[in-house]
């Protein structure tokens, strides 16, 4: 999988498939396939992902405000939100 294929919708589907029980960052979703850096678009992808989950709270993914790991936003998945 190449960086240019990462999409917010794909990330949401992976989060649901992997059923994250703990908080996570975007690189956690992709594991070894995550090769993005700030220089090649990681920040832009993060903004697109945040915008997507903000517009779709029914997905059950939320950002943990004020918490960062290695300068990355931290998220939580709750599959029972809005169900």
Tokens of 67: 């918490």
* pTM (predicted TM-score): 0.85
Helices (H), 19-74: 26-30, 42-55
> Tell me: domain 3-77, CATH 3.30.310, correct?
no
The domain locations on the chain are 3-77
Coil, helix or strand at residue 54: helix
Exposed / middle / buried, residue 50 (Cβ in 10 Å: 0-12, 13-18, 19+): middle
Categorize the per-residue pLDDT at 80 as very low, low, confident or very high, splitting at 50, 70 and 90.
Answer: confident
Condensed to tens digits (0 to 9), the pLDDT of residues 6-59 reads 899 999 999 999 998 899 999 999 988 888 888 888 888 999 999 999 999 999
């Amino acid at each position: 999988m190449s960086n240019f294929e990462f999409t917010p919708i794909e990330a949401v589907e992976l989060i649901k498939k992997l059923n994250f029980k703990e908080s996570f960052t975007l690189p956690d979703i992709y594991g070894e396939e995550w090769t993005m850096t700030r220089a090649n678009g990681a920040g832009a992808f993060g903004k697109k992902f945040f915008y997507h989950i903000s517009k779709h709270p029914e997905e059950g993914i939320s950002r943990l405000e004020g918490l960062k790991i290695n300068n990355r936003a931290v998220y939580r998945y709750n599959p029972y939100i809005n169900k």
